[in-house]
Structure 1
Amino acid sequence: MDEIQRLSDLLAANQRYEEQKQQRFQDDLAQWNASIEALYAQVGTWLKPLIDAEQTRFEYEPHLAQGKGYPDENSPFMTRRMSFFLGNHEVAFVPDAMGAKGQVSVSLAGVSLHGQEKYSLQLDPLRRDWLLKKTVGVKDSEPVAFTADHFGKLLQAVVPQRQG
């Protein structure tokens, strides 16, 4: 009977481990969503003068991020896609599936006039700030701090420069 009790103890320990693992995943998922929403709020604060002047507006739509382990509609990564327009030019923030230990990355499209460049934002887990990296274009770039000034310069590139 000792081996049956040992089996029972092993099963109970395994169940506790699986419950803890699921709780860690849920905690990471909550942090992932909170980080994305904080990024959106930060960008909204930066662009508030444009919103107040009715030069842009934000649009949000549901987004189901998919990853290797969650490739279909069963993905737990339900979030929102954020976009805004500068003239007729759309800039979109599209969250990627959560990485290891809650890693957050967001694809940033529409910050080049002809769409040849793509960027990604990654949340630095230690400093808790966002790093911007060009992922498609003439050449990949080293990550740089995602600041209001840097973002403003990127966005200026999508506004046609008129001489006159």
Structure 2
Amino acid sequence: MDDVQQLGEMLRHYAESEAHKKQVFESQSAVWAMRIGELFDQIEQWLAPVRTPNLLEVSREFYVAFGASVPVETSVFKSEKLSILIAGKPVEFVPEVMGVGGLITLAVVGLTAARYGSVSLVCLPPSTEWQWRKTNGLKDPDTFAFDANFLAQQLQSLIPRERG
């Protein structure tokens, strides 16, 4: 095989590899978007019995996820974010760009009192289980299973208590 034929073979292999990577990315992106939609549907179902105008409201809106390596202008991660307004305090579930292996991360804004802490929801396909991760400083994050009762406990912390 001469160098020109070898170059042709290399280009063909490269094209096949790129096509495969694109196909994997597109299928993972579809799962990413579907899982986020399912999670938001679930949260809305959990909160439906206690939704009350001006006390507990839930809404969804179009959102383009972006990250440090993917600016919003070029991001292909079109999704939505979920907002909860409870006792006048906003909580948002905001998708972040899909991570390695289809990792799904949602930043949870409005639920951490720690100065340097953050809260996120994480799901790593093929698992469909969501985990609540609370990070504070350099130590390992605290991880909890995410379900209706856990969400309710977190939201309860935002309701002002009677003093006296």
TM-score for both structures, normalised by structure 1: 0.85
Counting only pairs closer than 5 Å after superposition, residues 1-164 of structure 1 correspond to structure 2 as 2-51=2-51, 53-54=52-53, 55-111=55-111, 118-125=118-125, 127-136=127-136, 141-162=141-162
Between the aligned partners of 1:125 and 1:32, the Cα distance in structure 2 is 9
CA offsets 1:1-33 (integer angstroms, 9 cap, x no match): 744333222211211111111111111111111
Name segments (4+ residues, structure 1) moved above 4 Å.
114-117
Structure 2 residues without counterparts, runs of 5 or longer: none
Q: CA RMSD in A?
A: 2.4
Report the secondary structure of 2:83's partner residue.
strand
Report the secondary structure of 1:61's partner residue.
strand
Q: Which stretch has the larger CA shift, 72-81 or 117-126?
A: 117-126
Deviation at 1:148?
0.9
Q: Which stretch has the larger CA shift, 4-13 or 149-158?
A: 4-13
Asked whether the 8 Å contact 1:66–1:97 carries over to 2, the reply is yes
Deviation at 1:63?
2.0
Between the aligned partners of 2:114 and 2:146, the Cα distance in structure 1 is 20
Q: Which stretch has the larger CA shift, 58-67 or 74-83?
A: 58-67
Instruction: State the identity %.
Output: 30
Q: Which stretch has the larger CA shift, 95-104 or 1-10?
A: 1-10
Deviation at 1:141?
4.4
Q: Which amino acid aligns with 2:154?
A: L
How many equivalent pairs are there? 161
TM-score for both structures, normalised by structure 2: 0.85
Q: Which stretch has the larger CA shift, 24-33 or 124-133?
A: 124-133
Between the aligned partners of 1:124 and 1:66, the Cα distance in structure 2 is 18
